[in-house]
Structure 1
Amino acid sequence: MSLQSALLGYLLSLMLRFRISPQENVVLQTTAAATGTMPLAAGFVGILPALGLLEIEKDGSPPVTLSWVGAVGWSCAVAFFGVFLSPPIRKQVIIKEQLRFPSGTATAQLIAVLHDIPPPGSSARRRKGYRALSANEDIDIPDTVNPEEAAASNNDSYDEERETVRQEGWTTLGWSFLASAVMTLTSYFFPIIFNIPLFGTYLATGWLWTFTPSLSYVGQGIIMGFPTALSMNLGMLVGWGILSPMAKYSGWAPGPVGDMTNGARGWILWVSLAIMVSDSVTSLVPVAREIISKGLTTSSGIRLPRTPNPADNLNHDIDAGPQSDEEVETGDRLVPKEWVIWGLGISVILGTVLVWLVFGHEGIKPWATLIGFAMGGLLSILGVRALGETDLNPVSGLGKISQLLFAFIQPGNVVANVIAGGVAEAGAMQAGDLMQDLKTGHLLHASPRAQFYGQLVGSALSIFVTTTAYNLYTRAYPIPGPQFPAPTAYVWLSLARLLRNGQLPEQSANFMFGFALFFCIISAIKTRANRHRVWYAKWIPSGVAFAIGFLNTPSFSLARLVGGVIEYMYHRRWARDGGDIRLIIVASGFVLGEGVISVVSLVLRTFGVGVVSCLGCAPGLCPGCST
């Protein structure tokens, strides 16, 4: 949400009639991003629901449900490790290697447009909204164009985009927010609105083929873009249109389709897991190779051959960063090494103690938690480098690598396996997300120390906000449940159970191997295409997005496809003259509207206010209906 945070911060400053500088806007969105990372980093959408699904017969442990105090303790344990990892990694990947970090660069370009300063890397290129120029577009200004006229044209484009925000920003945001809010509140009282049977009631109730016209989902599809939304829906078609019926009618998954234990949804989950791990590991191979190459070069002067990358010059031009490996900031604007050393030490020791207090000695031993933090530090380097090059942080695969390790360290302990994987994933996720913000700050000359303060403040505040919100939601809704399925919880738990007893659903191993091999090849092709910045790279399916199409029911993917199509058509037909800012505002309003009203719905449910009518609902079709 860095783009949206920067935009909303600017709009708020206009409404409150005080002017913020570009650097202050960088710190604002850094704090907001750190706050928003906590629900994912602390596992409130995966790890904690997974622990609540434990069974003594299958896992040797009863369900683990944390109180508000316990959830705060767990969040404190993992909240700051990734923050203190970011300063030392920053110097390597941003200053020395100058990795692109596409989302961080895009945020810097947006802030530059809003604040009337030249966008980074735009001096010799035309702009295309907030997006960086693609590799297949012209880099140099044609000889027939007067440079002064080109610069004036660019300035006119910036002025037009900025005036769009100043004059229409709140109006556009307000209308999109209102539309999403009304749709969400109406669907609470009439659940059929968000559970429309696409191909009849039979396929909707028996095979989960419904459509949810959520404007928040549409907004998310706009933000993620058409290629990613398309990959997700391709996965949805394969998983729910082919593999799910195949598993059901072959007797491999005899239970109800939506059952995660013996139904088709639980069966295709394993194929999804294999795709995510193979795609993540394959994409990390060139990253690991480069790290090893640099290490050998530093220690012995031996340099492994490096594949020439014709996009190297383009990367430098886009980033517009300093062309040396020396730090450009003064010491008073950097995070002192002593802070980093002490911070890492204290966060690891405190985190280990808190995990032990929350889960007990039988849950995970302190020495195992220390290994989890060490794994998090190592995996963070891989994740950050992958993010810097591809804009994808493969934390799902990284977490599974940690789970595999802990199957040997504490064999048979499902609780320890999930917790240790969560500790490692939290560090990698936080370090990656914060590095995007540090890239934005580097391009706009914001103080790294000020951003560091913002990260600490955001992470600390989010501990209490996230824990309180999660506690309220679990009181009103079952999680996982019909309205909040939390599919990643089953991913964590299923792998932990597999590593404990080694049993896979019938025939799933063959499909796992076949899809894993296929996406190893696809991921290798996509990784190479991305490194060479060829035009068709973005159209090669993303393995992770493809796998997410398996995890979620069709209703989650289809609305995002609508948003992706809108984003694609907008850029093809309308964005050339007006830029992308208006589209960002609309998407932000859609997401914010449903998010705010979902809290209102939570309050209504807490006070016993239910649906008004189940008209159109069939048994088992609408989560909010009792019929």
Structure 2
Amino acid sequence: MGGEDRVETGYGSEDESKDERHAKKDKEEEEEEMMMTVERVFESKEVPSWRQQLTVRAFVVSFMLSILFSFIVMRLDLTTGIIPSLNVSAGLLGFFFIKTWTKVLEKSGMLQVPFTRQENTVIQTCVVASSGIAFSGGFGSYLFGMSKRIAIQSGSTPGADDYKDPSLSWIIGFLFVVSFLGLLAVVPLRKIMIIDFKLTYPSGTATAHLINSFHMPEGAKLAKKQVKALGKFFSFSFLWGFFQWFYTAADSCGFASFPTLGLKAFENRFYFDFSAMYVGVGMICPYIVNISLLLGGILSWGLMWPLIEKKAGDWYSADLKPSSMHGLQGYKVFISIAMILGDGLYNFCKVLRRTLFGLYHQIRDKNSLPRVVNGSPTESSQLSFDDQRRTSLFLKDQVPTSFAVGGYIVIAIISIITLPHIFHQLKWYHILVMYLAAPTLAFCNAYGCGLTDWSLASTYGKLAIFVIGAWAGASHGGVLAGLAACGVMMNIVSTASDLTQDFKTGYLTLASPRSMFVSQVIGTAMGCVISPCVFWLFYKAFKDLGLSTSAYPAPYASIYRSMAMLAVEGFSSLPKNCLALCYGFFAASIVVNAIRDYVPKKYSRFIPIPMAMAIPFYLGSYFAIDMCVGSLILFLWERMDKTKADAFGPAVASGLICGDGIWTLPSAILALAGVKPPICMKFLSRAANNRVDGFLNSS
């Protein structure tokens, strides 16, 4: 799952019988034994050189998939900010496209280079690196939070130094300057992370096993069936989005405004909005995430906001605009910020503790680590055949450390010179301090991600907001300086953890570290162009983008800007009693996380996640209801046929997400061309309908 901080979270069934558990254990042991000997299966196949792994067809397919996935991530980022892992979809679609390509060439007798798992890994790496820029680029958070539209939405009247409206030129330039430093920061540590420390990187490991299975005979057959299921639900989702478009001629029209739970519930953001995308997201996200979202919506829109609304005239002026941060909107934003910061602080300390504890043990036990000399394990090593082969090939194609260090210094110098011209509020010494601290923070994030699968990129970004924003000060454009600093730090630590995940995937599929690095660089470069162009399409096509009433409210843009304002102005910007409530929810967020960690797992999996609960505080529960419907579908499917659900659930979910996501492209083009839907389907109360009828009859 992704959103504020991307994470993969497992879940299980509470009703498994003893026999089922034994059968499951036997199956897991068999799978583990197979995975341990996977290189025996591929032993007869020659491993292509790192240059042969980087094929033209791989990057053509990567470019096409990068556009598709950028639309998906952008739409999710601009609606709720919850972004599930799309690695499975990238690996599966990459396999399908290249396999189709090679089959056509094979039949025509023109096939010269067979499709390998290393090439599949290159595609997956490139696509995820490219679409990852749509998240770390801040289009739904810090970057869009700089705009005048969000500044006004946040209830302030910005001065010339307090906003910077989006423009393709400076966004692309900014991303190119800051997106590559994280890659160079962790390259010298690749052997330590993967070989010496043997970090697990669960997502990278899972992706590698998936790709390995695709290229085994039985795995290829299953992959074809999965792709077929993905294509079927992709078509359904796309056509459903097209059908819904006909009924959206004006605001609040169409199926997305269907008051499924009643008009009063609709006013408080409780309704099912018929989004195939969020049903699909719900099928991928763990059950507890979806339940947490729903609980957050019930707590806020069902209880808190109606009670605080009754305090209008006492706690805040009753004459304020709905968007004013000194009214109800302020409670919505700042209480959700308090929960997000509490959750982020707890997990930062937790991951940091595990990082330091892990490092201590690694250093203490370094004499017992397998030794590697000249790219080969020594005789004293107890490595399995798989690990011996993987270690030997992983150390064969080195990315020179001098290249990484020299590249980091050169790009840092260019960045220190360039960034103050893009954001004059951000001074060269602010950037220098960040770049001196960045390698350490990048290592911490990459190491912590290897242990926990949790990237704390946005937490480091928030840290930069408060430090640099307060340092710059209100009179020197501290709000914009803080948001820009967030972008610099978030991109560095995010790409660092992504690259080490990819190194782990490459290690397990025998893809060269050099091809992984080149693929990541090319994917990042693609993302620095594709993501801004996709965002620009949204920005130009949907004129209400970023407004709370929009189909694309970009909630984190307002939240990040409010954080920057808080860093610069202090607590004086909060409405009455808001600070006390923020303290309470900040503490509650830490306590709930601590309880989740320290109670037995059979109970902790029922305790909600504060980060997920915070999102509906601002947006409402409509998307949470969609996601719970997705969870219900998966739950019933697992009850009827767990094997089939496990095999095809991710493919069905990916189809629903991809189809609805790609419909955004023709929808945006139609909006830019001025083509409007022909019908407005709107729902009225009986009293409102009578007034409309009376007006029509009188005229």
| TM-score (ref. length: structure 2) | 0.73
The structure-2 alpha-carbon separation of the partners of 1:418 and 1:244, relative to structure 1 and needing over 3 Å to count, comes to same
Give the match for residue 596 of structure 1: 662
Q: Kindly tell me the number of residue pairs found equivalent between the two proteins.
A: 553
Alignment match of 1:467 (pick from 499, 517, 532): 532
Give the match for residue 134 of structure 1: none
Instruction: Report if aligned partners of 2:634, 2:645 keep a CA contact under 8 Å in 1.
Output: no
Give the match for residue 457 of structure 2: 395
Counterpart CA distance in 2 for 1:290 and 1:322 is: 28
Give the match for residue 674 of structure 2: 608
The SS at the match of 2:151 is coil
The structure-2 alpha-carbon separation of the partners of 1:298 and 1:221, relative to structure 1 and needing over 3 Å to count, comes to closer
The structure-2 alpha-carbon separation of the partners of 1:537 and 1:328, relative to structure 1 and needing over 3 Å to count, comes to farther
Give the match for residue 385 of structure 1: 447
The SS at the match of 2:587 is helix
Give the match for residue 174 of structure 1: 231
Counterpart CA distance in 1 for 2:100 and 2:394 is: 34
Counterpart CA distance in 2 for 1:398 and 1:235 is: 25
The SS at the match of 2:636 is helix
Alignment match of 1:545 (pick from 601, 607, 612): 612
Alignment match of 1:220 (pick from 276, 281, 291): 281
The structure-2 alpha-carbon separation of the partners of 1:250 and 1:397, relative to structure 1 and needing over 3 Å to count, comes to farther
How far 1:12 sits from its partner (Å)?
A: 1.2
- Greater shift after overlay, 7-16 or 108-117? 108-117
Matches within 5 A, 1:99-498: 99-116=199-216, 159=218, 162-166=220-224, 168-191=225-248, 192-204=254-266, 206-251=267-312, 252=315, 254=318, 259=323, 261-293=325-357, 328-329=392-393, 331-360=395-424, 363-412=425-474, 413-477=478-542, 478-481=544-547, 482-498=550-566
Instruction: Report if aligned partners of 1:73, 1:355 keep a CA contact under 8 Å in 2.
Output: no
What is the one-letter code of the residue matched to 1:505?
A: P
- Greater shift after overlay, 392-401 or 22-31? 392-401
What is the one-letter code of the residue matched to 2:556?
A: T
Counterpart CA distance in 1 for 2:384 and 2:626 is: 37
Instruction: Report if aligned partners of 1:108, 1:440 keep a CA contact under 8 Å in 2.
Output: yes
How far 1:394 sits from its partner (Å)?
A: 2.7
Instruction: Report if aligned partners of 1:190, 1:614 keep a CA contact under 8 Å in 2.
Output: yes
The structure-2 alpha-carbon separation of the partners of 1:302 and 1:100, relative to structure 1 and needing over 3 Å to count, comes to closer
- Greater shift after overlay, 85-94 or 218-227? 85-94
How far 1:582 sits from its partner (Å)?
A: 1.6
Instruction: Report if aligned partners of 2:293, 2:615 keep a CA contact under 8 Å in 1.
Output: yes
Q: Residue by residue, what CA displacement relative to the aligned partner does 1:471-528 show, whole Å, maximum 9, x if unpaired?
A: 2221111331302111111111101111222221222222221222122122234345
How far 1:111 sits from its partner (Å)?
A: 1.4
- Greater shift after overlay, 564-573 or 495-504? 564-573
Instruction: Report if aligned partners of 1:219, 1:586 keep a CA contact under 8 Å in 2.
Output: yes
Q: Residue by residue, what CA displacement relative to the aligned partner does 1:20-66 show, whole Å, maximum 9, x if unpaired?
A: 21221111100000000111112111122111033674567353113
- Greater shift after overlay, 544-553 or 76-85? 544-553
Larger radius of gyration: 2
Give the match for residue 34 of structure 1: 129
Instruction: Report if aligned partners of 2:162, 2:479 keep a CA contact under 8 Å in 1.
Output: no
Counterpart CA distance in 1 for 2:399 and 2:668 is: 41
Counterpart CA distance in 2 for 1:275 and 1:321 is: 48
Alignment partner of 1:585 is 2:651: yes
The SS at the match of 1:580 is helix
Give the match for residue 641 of structure 2: 574
Alignment partner of 1:51 is 2:149: no
What is the one-letter code of the residue matched to 1:213?
A: F
List structure 1 segments (4+ residues) > 6 angstroms apart after TM superposition.
255-258, 294-299, 319-324
Counterpart CA distance in 2 for 1:383 and 1:256 is: 42
How far 1:356 sits from its partner (Å)?
A: 1.7
Counterpart CA distance in 1 for 2:322 and 2:683 is: 18
Instruction: Report if aligned partners of 1:219, 1:587 keep a CA contact under 8 Å in 2.
Output: yes
Counterpart CA distance in 1 for 2:245 and 2:353 is: 51
The structure-2 alpha-carbon separation of the partners of 1:515 and 1:598, relative to structure 1 and needing over 3 Å to count, comes to same
Instruction: Report if aligned partners of 1:22, 1:111 keep a CA contact under 8 Å in 2.
Output: yes
List gaps (5 residues or longer) in structure 2: 1-85, 104-113, 249-253, 367-382, 689-699
Question: What is the RMSD computed on CA atoms of the aligned residues?
Answer: 3.0
- Greater shift after overlay, 584-593 or 247-256? 247-256
Instruction: Report if aligned partners of 1:376, 1:425 keep a CA contact under 8 Å in 2.
Output: no
Counterpart CA distance in 1 for 2:634 and 2:439 is: 36
Instruction: Report if aligned partners of 2:102, 2:115 keep a CA contact under 8 Å in 1.
Output: no
Give the match for residue 697 of structure 2: none
Counterpart CA distance in 2 for 1:559 and 1:606 is: 28
Alignment match of 1:501 (pick from 569, 577, 585): 569
What is the one-letter code of the residue matched to 1:405?
A: V
| TM-score (ref. length: structure 1) | 0.81
Give the match for residue 558 of structure 1: 625
The structure-2 alpha-carbon separation of the partners of 1:270 and 1:411, relative to structure 1 and needing over 3 Å to count, comes to same
- Greater shift after overlay, 450-459 or 91-100? 91-100
The SS at the match of 2:674 is coil
The structure-2 alpha-carbon separation of the partners of 1:570 and 1:34, relative to structure 1 and needing over 3 Å to count, comes to same
The structure-2 alpha-carbon separation of the partners of 1:28 and 1:460, relative to structure 1 and needing over 3 Å to count, comes to same
Give the match for residue 94 of structure 2: 9
The structure-2 alpha-carbon separation of the partners of 1:86 and 1:176, relative to structure 1 and needing over 3 Å to count, comes to farther
What is the one-letter code of the residue matched to 1:24?
A: E
What is the one-letter code of the residue matched to 1:287?
A: V
Matched-pair identity in %: 25
What is the one-letter code of the residue matched to 1:601?
A: S
Counterpart CA distance in 1 for 2:319 and 2:487 is: 30
How far 1:242 sits from its partner (Å)?
A: 1.9
- Greater shift after overlay, 579-588 or 209-218? 579-588
Give the match for residue 379 of structure 2: none
How far 1:615 sits from its partner (Å)?
A: 2.1
- Greater shift after overlay, 405-414 or 59-68? 59-68
Counterpart CA distance in 2 for 1:387 and 1:528 is: 21
The SS at the match of 1:98 is coil
- Greater shift after overlay, 3-12 or 381-390? 381-390
Counterpart CA distance in 2 for 1:218 and 1:562 is: 6
Instruction: Report if aligned partners of 1:284, 1:382 keep a CA contact under 8 Å in 2.
Output: no
Give the match for residue 149 of structure 1: none
Counterpart CA distance in 2 for 1:91 and 1:332 is: 11
Counterpart CA distance in 2 for 1:328 and 1:505 is: 61
What is the one-letter code of the residue matched to 2:466?
A: L
How far 1:7 sits from its partner (Å)?
A: 0.5
- Greater shift after overlay, 476-485 or 280-289? 280-289
Instruction: Report if aligned partners of 2:179, 2:524 keep a CA contact under 8 Å in 1.
Output: yes
The structure-2 alpha-carbon separation of the partners of 1:62 and 1:522, relative to structure 1 and needing over 3 Å to count, comes to closer
